[in-house]
Amino acid sequence: MEIKYNSQRLAYPFFVSMLILFALQIGFGLLLALIQMDPDLLKGTFNFNVARAFHLNLAIVWIVTGFIGTILFVGPILGQRDVRPRWLAILLLIAIWIVVLWSIATLPLAQVGIAGWVGNTPWLQQGMEFLEGGRVTDILLFIGFGIFAYLTLVMFPKKVKRWNELHWGLAIGVVGLVGVWVFTMIPTKELDLQEYFRWYVVHYWVEAVWEIIHITLIGFLLARFFGADDKEVGFAVFWGISLVVLSGLIGNSHHYFWIGTPAFWQFWGSLFSALEPLPLIFCIWHVYLDEKHGVTPIKNRAAFYFIFGSALFESVGAGVLGFTMTMAYANLWEHGTWLTAAHGHMALFGAFGLLVIGAAYEAVRQIKGINRFKDGMSKLSFWMLFVGLSGIVGSFAFGGTKQIYVYRILGLDWWGHQIRPAMSQARVLLGVFAFLFVLGGIIVIYDLLTLKDRAISETNQKLLDSKLQTRGTISWWRRSMTQFEFAVWLSGIWLFGLIVTAGVFSFNLHSVRLGDPTIPYIILGIGYPGLLIITLVFAHRFLMAFEQRQDLLQVVQNFSVGGQLQIVDIRNKAEKGGEREQLILDTFNRLSYGEAFMVLSDRETGCQHHTLHKILGTTFAWEVLEAGPQQWKVKVGKLN
């Protein structure tokens, strides 16, 4: 994936804006963690609820800005035409900053009780959780989303018949951003109806529309990174989007359990909400499959780290943690506690934030004309964000478990500060991991803004590549992950997810409601740490295998056809009976990791490739050097 259209460079100021807004957002996050430890900090000057509104709204704005930058970068490649008109894209960037500045001016009005009522409409700020901005903000965002949708659609072919699944995925996503946002502007006096529309926006706008954009962008980026087949990726995108829509339409009703709506929503909401993790499992599985494609090493491993982390945290944060609290009699205890915050942080930043950061790494690399760059700082920032966010989620889970007991079981007074002592340790942990996360954020911002300084010249890159050697043995951590092992890791993650679910359900037990928290404390004390630890270990295992595969692909690529490659001539072997396949397999088994040979054939070699794939899985590279009509040449390399 290279710069083919000059208008792709329009993405850069959006990514710079994204990083500035990200810096502001994590700054407010650190402030919130400090206020949790000292509730009197800035009391009466800048209250917790205002800081929280800034933290949440900035998260939404910087991630959407990242989506815009990503689509402006990949859209011309997908649509085979420039972004036009360019001035409209610039206007969109200006509109984003107008919304930010307007929000800075109006969100603090909640502290003094000014909403800007005109008739039945709050024009300045409306104080609704997750949708704090007033009607002016809603209108400005609606116009901005409309411009974004227009810019996206005009990049695509005029004839809809030429659209593939990726076109449709982005089209549904950007039109959905506009269409669902309309429900923020429906005035109503009834509280339950207001809550209905609020959750309609929150669920469909983030948990459905964003998911559709997320799945489509991941599919496109991985196809370009690893050379996966467009039809195969399109198939995955189609089913991913279909599952999001089919489960999410009725699954939205898990927000309707306790807002005055009919009781039948408890059954249907629980059922379909439980199905919502399916597309998220499908997404992480396809990341695994796509990573095995490709016969040449990718130029941007750091970008893949963030994209992989996005898919993993989407599966764990949105999928597993969402499942643990989505059924009615778990949601009864969980909703409105720190357990909700654990799910929200990993689902929002983990899934969407990491994706746009990964896309920014690839876009900045190309826009700045960088072939390769030193990615040590990039990977350090990834792991700091990964561990920091996991710790934040764990802190919320620890505090939320105690919060449910002392607040909802014992009925202690929240406003009377009777609950703070029980949650004090969790608040300290939250501050520690928030600080680690902020450090990771600062590093990633600095790294992206100064990426050009760490560019590697072509000469130095060849020198580094030449130092990579073949290997006789590879440790288990670096061996290729089989489909069975990958499934075992996912099953382990879901096992701990089910343990957490059982722990939340256990608050319904009679003994617990009489005041004994032993059972939920034990179950959740196993479930949450186990879930976070296995997620961290799995990520390390997967990425170590990825690094080893990329190194070996580089070693295999270093073998030249000029004399280093052993030639295996199968032209004199019978086509039937498996002689050709056996000769190739015997030669392959004698190789060290990273070595290669060339197959010379008088026939197309698809049968041999299919046979090797059945036996060896993804532990070999198969690069067609010459495809007939007189002879076929294929380089076969041994990978981890």
* pLDDT tens-digit readout, 132-168: 989 999 999 999 999 999 999 999 998 888 999 999 9
Question: Which has the higher per-residue pLDDT, 211 or 190?
Answer: 211
Q: How many CA atoms lie within 13 A of 639 on its CB side?
A: 32
Query: Could you read off the pLDDT of 531-585 as tens digits, one per residue?
Result: 999 999 999 999 999 999 998 888 888 865 445 688 888 888 887 778 888 999 9
Q: What is the CA radius of gyration of the chain?
A: 26
Higher-pLDDT residue of 437 and 460 is 437
Higher confidence at residue 291 or residue 21?
Answer: 21
**566-638 adopts what CATH topology?**
Translation Initiation Factor IF3 (3.30.110)
Full-model pTM: 0.94
The mean of the pLDDT values for the chain is: 90
User: In 3D, which of 306, 304, 297, 372 has the Cα closest to residue 548?
Assistant: 297
What is each CA distance from 2 to 6, 106, 121, 303, 362, in whole angstroms?
11, 42, 48, 14, 10
CA-wise closest residue to 317 among 426, 382, 396: 396
- Quick check: 620 pLDDT over 80? yes
Whether residue 581 contacts residue 614, with contact meaning beta carbons closer than 8 Å, is answered with no
Where are the CATH 3.30.110.40 domain residues in the chain? 566-638
More confident residue, 301 or 186: 301
Q: pLDDT at position 1, please?
A: 61
pLDDT band with cut points at 50, 70 and 90 for residue 602: confident
- 104 pLDDT higher than 70: yes
State the pLDDT at residue 561.
45
629, pLDDT greater than 80 = yes
246-297 pLDDT per residue, tens:
777 777 777 777 777 778 878 887 887 777 778 888 788 888 888 887 778 8
Q: For residue 179, what are the contacts with CB-CB under 8 A and spacing of at least 6?
A: none
Domain with CATH 1.20.210.10 in the chain: 6-556
| Beta-strand relationship, 596-601 and 632-638 | antiparallel
6-556 — its CATH code? 1.20.210.10
| Higher-pLDDT residue of 507, 465 | 507
Quick check: 270 and 328 in contact, CB under 8 A? yes
Q: Take residue 246 and report the two structure tokens written for it.
A: 């089919």
Report pLDDT digits (tens) over 60-86.
999 999 999 999 999 999 988 999 999
Percent of the chain with pLDDT over 90: 54
* CA distances for 244 relative to 239, 273, 493, angstroms: 8, 11, 21
Q: Which amino acid is at 526?
A: I
Task: Name the percent of the chain in helix, strand, coil, to the closest 5.
Answer: 70, 5, 20
For residue 472, pLDDT beyond 90: no
Tell me the per-residue pLDDT of 413-427, one tens digit each, with 9 for 90 and over.
Answer: 876 677 888 899 999
